[in-house]
Structure 1
């Protein structure tokens, strides 16, 4: 994980209606098309995909030193009822306020804090008058699965549940608000290390007086576990597991 973020390692590219920022230490031959799935499909670099609101693409990129990097390409889609009508367009209120630019900036900040989260690689905003569309390229957490996938196969130990709680506390300690903290957005790798992903609409909240959002985050996470428990035929989650997670959250002294 990056020890520090050097602003010089990020470059801006504008082409037609698209504005992009990218990590120039990883991509020396960056083009706008790299934010299109078709670019990676033609290059034979797609290594997999996942379905959510849209398709998330997993790609492999070889840098100038022929080192392979595994990335995730995601297009921004709306959720809820409005998403059925206006699928992927958002009102434009300045580049820094776009979903892609905001998430990219938050990911950069979390890298400086060495928080276990994806590294930002590139983003693209396509501006159409009053609206825009956007895409994000970020690093893929290696050898990892989300908690829902894992818990359909096996239970977790108390140590891992406590580690999950302690990891979330680290993010909260640094004022990182995760807008959609749920059991799909928490990953465990093959060493059972914990990562948080998908920080769309996330924010940096440093007001020491307002801490209600932290409790709301945890309540949302608990509801997501219960939702999966009621939906899936096999899902290894109990009330005791939740209490153990919360014990890890409450006793942890973040760094």
Structure 2
């Protein structure tokens, strides 16, 4: 991977030169991609992410927005910080490092920072995992409900393995929940949304358990809201077994 950087007046770009030969401001505008009929979908939460198919690239475009009360006033504006400390560039660099380590995360393509007075705005383009859906959506499907018990437990085990890979690399995920876990059409597990995430020290630090507890709370919350969102303690136990048993060779999970 060759990473390129460019400074312009009040603007900064960083991108993967193996994917994009150059970047321009309009690459980070949904309107530009709409005019090219390249937007094939979107994911709406606090931040809208646009799914883009352009030539041979499948990408996700995400702009950074504030949350909470402050976000109602400043929306996508952040108090001024150097480009390398902006949320977009930090997420790009963390994703780049994780991708180079072989972790199950999407590849970063480009990030954009623009200064305006005492504020900055930022966006990021990342790889879109083909034919993927988030774990929350998957658990609502008939496919999930009709899976054999061994298949179910193996899937949960593999999610535990993916999280342990992240933690073994000392990566803290600030919002590990069932929406930020993806399954592709081979049921490979991917982890996404690394805004405000970072590498931390401490092999047995409390933040690792806090990550797992946050994920469990998200599952419990969705189960309380959606009657068809069906999971049980034995599945969570399989996830914890995958997390605890992970080695570089990744053991085979055989449910009892």
Q: Which range moves more in the overlay, 73-82 or 164-173? A: 73-82
1:138-217 aligned at under 5 Å gives the runs 138-153=126-141, 154-155=144-145, 157-208=152-203, 211-217=205-211
* Other-structure match for 1:226: 220
Distance across 1 between alignment mates of 2:227 and 2:82: 46
* Other-structure match for 2:14: 21
Q: Is residue 13–residue 23 contact of structure 2 (8 Å, CA) maintained in 1? A: no
Distance across 1 between alignment mates of 2:162 and 2:66: 28
Q: Is residue 171–residue 199 contact of structure 2 (8 Å, CA) maintained in 1? A: yes
Q: Is residue 56–residue 75 contact of structure 1 (8 Å, CA) maintained in 2? A: yes
1:95-174 aligned at under 5 Å gives the runs 95-153=83-141, 154-155=144-145, 157-174=152-169
State the TM-score, normalized to the length of structure 1.
Answer: 0.90
Q: Is residue 81–residue 120 contact of structure 2 (8 Å, CA) maintained in 1? A: no
Deviation at 1:85, TM superposition (A): 2.5
Q: Is residue 173–residue 254 contact of structure 1 (8 Å, CA) maintained in 2? A: no
Q: Which runs of 5+ in 2 are unaligned?
A: 250-256
Deviation at 1:206, TM superposition (A): 3.0
Deviation at 1:254, TM superposition (A): 4.1
Deviation at 1:38, TM superposition (A): 1.1
Deviation at 1:233, TM superposition (A): 2.7
Q: What secondary structure is seen at the aligned counterpart in 2 of 1:143?
A: coil
Deviation at 1:203, TM superposition (A): 0.2
Q: Which runs of 5+ in 1 are unaligned?
A: 63-67
Deviation at 1:252, TM superposition (A): 1.2
Distance across 1 between alignment mates of 2:22 and 2:237: 49
Of 40, 46, 55, 1:47 maps to: 40
* Other-structure match for 1:31: 24
Distance across 2 between alignment mates of 1:254 and 1:90: 40
State the TM-score, normalized to the length of structure 2.
Answer: 0.90
* Other-structure match for 2:252: none
